[in-house]
Chain A
Amino acid sequence: EAGVAQSPRYKIIEKRQSVAFWCNPISGHATLYWYQQILGQGPKLLIQFQNNGVVDDSQLPKDRFSAERLKGVDSTLKIQPAKLEDSAVYLCASSQNGPGETQYFGPGTRLLVL
C-alpha cells in the first residue's frame, strides 16, 4: 500500500514570495491533515479536512495561508506572501474514517524562507 505522498521535498524562496505544497493521501482515507513543524518543536495542526470539507482550521493563519482538498482526495497548502517565520517542515497526514483513527504521515516538505 502506497503511503502519503508530498511534493516538493524541499523549497527555498524569498520572503514575500508565494509557495504551494501538494499532498496525496493514502487511497480511501477520508481525513487529511496539514501540520507545521518548526525546528526543535513538535508538529502543530494547521488544518483538518473530512472528505473535502474543513473540520478545523483554528490554527491556520488565514491572512497568508490557504488550503483546499480537491474532490476529497489531493490537497494543496499555499502561503502568500511568505514570511521568515514560515520556515518549517510542512507535514501532511491522513486517516481512514475519522480523527480517531491512526494518522499516517508523509515525508514532509522542508521550506526555507530567506
Chain B
Amino acid sequence: GDSVTQMEGPVTLSEEAFLTINCTYTATGYPSLFWYVQYPGEGLQLLLKATKADDKGSNKGFEATYRKETTSFHLEKGSVQVSDSAVYFCALRRAQKLVFGQGTRLTINP
C-alpha cells in the first residue's frame, strides 16, 4: 500500500543553519505530495504542496521539489529561525486519502 518515510528525528540546528528533512514515498501512480507543520499546541497546517512531477512547492522560505525518479519530496530551507521549531509531516494524497509520514521534530537553538 501507499506509504511515506521521513528521516528520523529529532533534528537540532543552530539559527541560520541550512535545513534538509528527507521524505520518500511509495505509491502507484502519481500522488500529490505535501508538507504539513505542527507548532506546539496547534493543529497541523499546510506548509507547501506539489501536484505533479518536477513541481516545486514553496512557502515561508521552505521549498520541496517533487522528484518522480527518486520518489522523494525533501524539505529544505536556507536559513532557519527559532520560530521554525515544530514537527514536520510529509504526506501524499491518492485515491482521496492523505497518508502521513511519522513526523520529524525540529528544534532551532538561538
B-binding residues in A (CB < 8 A): 3-4, 40-45, 48, 55-56, 91, 93, 98-100, 102-108
B82 adjacent to chain A (CB < 8 Å): no
* Secondary structure call for the A interface: loop
Contacts of B49 in A (CB 8 A): 102
State the CA gap A45–B46 with chains docked (Å): 17
Smallest CB separation, A43 vs chain B (Å): 5
* Secondary structure call for the B interface: strand
B73 adjacent to chain A (CB < 8 Å): no
**Is B41 in contact with A107, judged by CB distance below 8 angstroms?**
yes
* Known contacts A40-B102, A41-B102, A42-B103, A100 near B44 by CB under 8 Å: no
Q: How large is the interface on B (under 10, 10 to 19, 20 to 34, 35 or more residues)?
A: 20 to 34
**Is B96 in contact with A99, judged by CB distance below 8 angstroms?**
yes
Smallest CB separation, A47 vs chain B (Å): 12
State the CA gap A78–B99 with chains docked (Å): 23
State the CA gap A56–B98 with chains docked (Å): 12
Contact of B43 among A42, A55, A91 (CB under 8 A): A91
